[in-house]
Structure formats: structure tokens, C-alpha cells
């Protein structure tokens, strides 16, 4: 049994983390739910018991064995090392620690082995990166990836509760506070996060650098265009991937069908292909529209869909916690 803290427990992802912990029956001996000052004193239901939201300092003082963060980069930078100083394993869902050399960036199906007893701050990758690398990992082992061109179609849930409210309010002609600089209903926004000097957004460059770090190969060329769409249920991606060696489509399909965490949905005769509405509340990464790029040798097109709040965030974080337990990197408490 393990003492677990959830930091940012009242947000969309924090709430989903609690849901996934319960669903997967992670052995929690004591739960600490923490959030910002405005949420302190509220109650959260977990496994038929109410828990009172406390401050992050109170959570630090409780010395949990695992602290799962989903409270934004500023909070993670301010508090993660305070938990680390107590010997707590921190699993952080923000971008704050992802490219830090001392912090592993982990998708358990791919690279859990990079976690060591000294890896006290472990980064959860960006949701869009997670689903893409899960689908590509075994193909990379077989054919070696040279280049990835990805365009994303990302759910408003990736921004948070405020964005979901904006979409629904616009749909119902209600004036309210905006999460985005433009209308999102019946529209697409080719901007996720802020623009950088190179003309790309931070979200796009996250996909570049995180993919290289997870695969341990800076020679993989990645270019991304990230788009926010008026959808709830999951993120979708059009992925064009070029390999070092030639492939056969039948073998590609066979590899994907055996890839852990992947479900192939690809029957165009029956109009079956992945969609966010089908990925919602599921932990699988769905892959379809599997076809050769006829304009370029050794190049494959894929359509990849996953629930960004689950595998793209909460489930991946809980899977990391499960790995810490299974690998005996933390000592369990007696019941």
C-alpha cells in the first residue's frame, strides 16, 4: 500500500487521475488531495469516501511516497523539488521537467527502464506525443524512423475546464470568459500554446523534442502542426512517417496489432477508422487509415486517435506509479 498525493486534484486531469487510480485499483493506503488556495476545504469523492482538499504545503508535510502533479508548470517548478527532498517520487504532467537531463520522460510501454532509484522527478510527456510514440515504437524498432510529419486535431479538453465551457457556451449563444483568442465552435485554431521565434508553437516543438528524447534518438526529424478543434473525447493525428528500411503493409499491420496499448481499427470497406467519439474514456491508442505514401519511398501514413485525458495524461501517470511499485523502487507500507 502506498501514500499518494494528487496535486491539482480539482482540475480535469487531476479528477481523471483519481478516477484511473480507482479503476486500476492502485493500492492507496492514504490519499492526499491538494490544489490551489481557492479549492482548499472542498471535498473530493474517491472510492466512496470524501477527502478534503489541502494546500500543497500540507501535502509536502505528509511525506507521500508518490506525488502525481497536474497543476501546471509554475506549480511543478515551485513544489516538485520540495517533495523530492522528502524522498517522494514525483510524476509530473506539466512541461516543466520534460527536457531536464536529470528527469526521465516516460511512456511505460516504451521506456520505463530509464527510471532509476535516483529518478525522483519523472516527467509525463505531452498528450499528443504519447499517443504518437505508442503507435510508432515497435515500427521504429523494426524499420528505424528517419522523419515524422504530424498534424494534430486536438480536443478542447486538452486546454481544460475553461475551454470546454467556452465551446459549450458558444454552442448555446451564452457570452462568457474565453479560453481562446478566437471562437472555437464551428472553427479550427491552428495555434496551441504560444508562438516561438521560429514560427512554431510550444506544443509543436514539444512533439519534436519529446519524441527524440523518448526514443533516445536526436537524429529522428520531426515537424508538427498542432490544431485545436471543437471536439471532446480525444486527440487525433495524421502521421506521415519515413523509415530507413522498406516495409510491407501486412507486416506493419501485424506489428501494430501486437503493439502494447494499440488497437487497430482499419476496415475501410466497412468505413471503420478511429474517431475521438470512440476513443473517449478508453486507454487504448487507436490506429487506422494505414496506407503507403505513394509519393515517397519507405513512407507510411497513419491516423492515430486517443483520449488525451486518459492515456495522454492520467493513465500514463498512473502506469508510471504502477511501474515504481512493480519494480520495487518504492517500499510498500503494510496495510
Q: CA–CA separation, 115 vs 98, rounded Å? A: 13
| Residue 89 near residue 330 (C-beta atoms within 8 A) | yes
Specify the pairing of strand 49-52 against strand 66-69.
unpaired
**Coil, helix or strand at residue 142:** helix
Q: Among this protein's residues, is 103 annotated catalytic?
A: no
Determine the Cα–Cα distance for residues 328 and 320; give it in Å rounded to an integer.
12
| Residue found by looking up cell 503493439 in the block | 259
Residue 217 near residue 257 (C-beta atoms within 8 A): no
CA distance readout (Å), 170 to 159, 184, 331: 16, 8, 50
Strands 285-292 and 262-264: parallel
Phi, psi of 243 (to 5 degrees): -110, 165
The candidate with the shortest Cα–Cα distance to 137, out of 306, 44, 260, 19, is 260
The answer to whether 278 is a known catalytic residue is: no
Strand-pair partners of 151: 225, 238
Q: Which of 103, 140, 235, 278 is catalytic?
A: 235
Q: Which residue has the cell 501514413?
A: 301
CA–CA dist 212, 222 (Å, integer): 8
Nearest CA-CA partner of 45 in 59, 31, 56, 35 = 31
- Choosing from 103, 127, 140, 226, the catalytic residue is 127
Tell me which residues are annotated as active site: 127, 235
Amino acid at each position: 500500500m502506498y501514500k499518494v498525493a494528487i496535486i491539482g486534484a480539482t482540475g480535469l486531469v487531476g479528477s481523471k487521475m483519481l478516477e484511473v487510480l480507482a479503476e486500476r485499483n492502485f493500492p492507496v493506503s492514504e490519499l492526499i488531495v491538494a490544489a490551489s488556495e481557492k479549492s482548499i476545504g472542498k471535498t473530493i469523492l474517491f472510492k466512496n469516501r470524501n477527502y478534503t482538499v489541502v494546500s500543497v504545503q500540507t501535502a509536502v508535510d505528509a511525506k507521500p511516497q508518490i506525488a502525481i502533479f497536474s497543476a501546471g508548470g509554475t506549480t511543478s517548478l515551485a513544489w516538485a523539488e520540495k517533495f523530492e527532498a522528502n524522498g517522494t517520487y514525483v510524476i509530473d504532467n506539466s512541461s516543466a521537467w520534460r527536457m531536464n537531463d536529470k528527469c526521465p520522460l516516460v511512456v511505460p510501454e516504451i521506456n520505463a527502464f530509464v527510471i532509476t532509484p535516483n529518478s525522483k522527478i519523472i516527467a509525463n510527456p505531452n498528450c499528443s506525443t504519447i499517443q504518437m510514440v505508442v503507435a510508432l515504437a515497435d515500427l521504429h524498432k523494426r524499420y528505424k524512423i528517419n522523419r515524422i510529419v504530424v498534424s494534430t486535431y486536438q480536443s478542447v479538453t486538452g486546454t481544460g475546464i475553461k475551454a470546454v465551457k467556452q465551446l459549450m457556451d458558444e454552442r448555446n449563444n451564452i457570452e462568457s470568459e474565453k479560453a481562446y483568442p478566437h471562437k472555437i465552435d464551428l472553427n479550427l485554431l491552428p495555434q496551441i500554446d504560444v508562438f516561438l521565434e521560429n514560427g512554431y508553437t510550444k506544443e509543436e516543438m514539444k512533439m519534436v523534442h519529446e519524441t527524440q528524447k523518448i526514443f533516445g534518438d536526436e537524429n529522428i526529424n520531426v515537424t508538427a502542426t498542432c490544431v485545436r478543434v471543437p471536439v471532446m473525447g480525444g486527440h487525433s493525428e495524421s502521421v506521415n512517417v519515413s523509415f530507413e528500411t522498406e516495409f510491407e503493409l501486412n507486416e506493419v499491420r501485424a506489428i501494430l496489432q501486437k503493439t502494447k496499448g494499440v488497437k487497430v481499427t482499419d476496415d475501410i470497406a466497412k468505413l471503420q477508422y478511429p474517431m475521438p467519439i470512440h476513443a473517449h474514456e478508453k486507454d487504448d491508442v487507436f490506429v487506422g487509415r494505414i496506407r503507403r505514401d505513394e509519393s515517397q519511398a519507405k513512407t507510411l501514413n497513419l491516423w492515430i486517435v486517443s483520449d488525451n485525458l486518459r492515456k495522454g495524461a492520467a493513465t500514463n501517470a498512473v502506469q508510471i506509479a504502477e511501474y515504481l511499485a512493480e519494480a520495487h523502487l518504492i517500499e510498500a507500507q503494510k496495510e
